[in-house]
Amino acid sequence: MLSLSSRKRYNRLRFKGAPKLKKLNVYLVRHGQTYYNIYNKLQGWSNSPLTQKGMQDARNAGEKLAKIHFDAAFCSDTTRAEATIQTILDMNQADSVKQPITAPFFREEFYGYFEGANMDEAWYLAGAPHGLPTFKAIVEKYSIGQAKDWLKDADPFHHAENNAEYWARVDQGIDLIRHSEVPDDANILWVSHGNTLLSLMERFGQGKYDLTVRPENGSLTKLILTDDDVEVEYYNHK
């Protein structure tokens, strides 16, 4: 599942009988704006390039994080995430790692048949049979997890990820970070995606955050990752 270059970097970071880490500081950045973001299209495993604003989103995040030393960096194997994280690492002034580890575990939710579809139309098809015609309505009454389940139900091929399938994959990414051989209290950079950030907040945010509004492109979220817990320090800062 890892690319050859990422596998080599990960192997240099792996535990070999070392004790578990107590704490990792994970700096999460949503990738810069893409053309699909402008066009209001679902963008999971599909991809579109960063816009000029999206490239500036990445540079803005790079400026904010320039003085932080990162012992490891992770992102999905999509070009929007790779372009964002490489910009941030290239701007870093704190002797951080030079390249990220990329893996499909960090991809956005897979929307199956609805990849590239208009977001409002897709969520209408998912929620309308249940009397909830928008993503916001589904989340307000139920959850983001329920929205995933209903989108899979609405997919005529049933290729879209349901909530259980989504977390089975993303949890492998979280474990990849946890099991990296980096110092205790290390700083980790993770460039992620809008629905993934919302999903993380639903699971770990203790009800503190508005899950009906997508995080901004280039926004910064900080997690505290321990052996058995994830704590949200802040979310969606610009």
For residue 19, is pLDDT > 70?
A: no
SS3 101: strand
Strands 220-225 and 24-30 come out as: antiparallel
Could you tell me which residues are beta bridge partners of residue 14?
Answer: 180
Q: What is the pLDDT of residue 16?
A: 44
Q: Name 221's bridge partners.
A: 28
Burial class (CB in 10 A: 0-12, 13-18, 19+), 63: exposed
For residues 222 and 25, give the distance between their C-alpha atoms in angstroms, rounded to a whole number: 7
Task: Please tell me the predicted confidence (pLDDT) of residue 17.
Answer: 47
Query: What gap in Å lies between CA 195 and CA 167, rounded to an integer?
Result: 12
Please state which of the ranges 1-5, 117-121, 162-166, 185-189 shows the lowest mean pLDDT. 1-5
Above 90 in pLDDT, residue 219?
A: yes
Instruction: Count how many Cα atoms sit within 13 Å of the Cα of residue 78 in the half-sphere of its side chain.
Output: 25
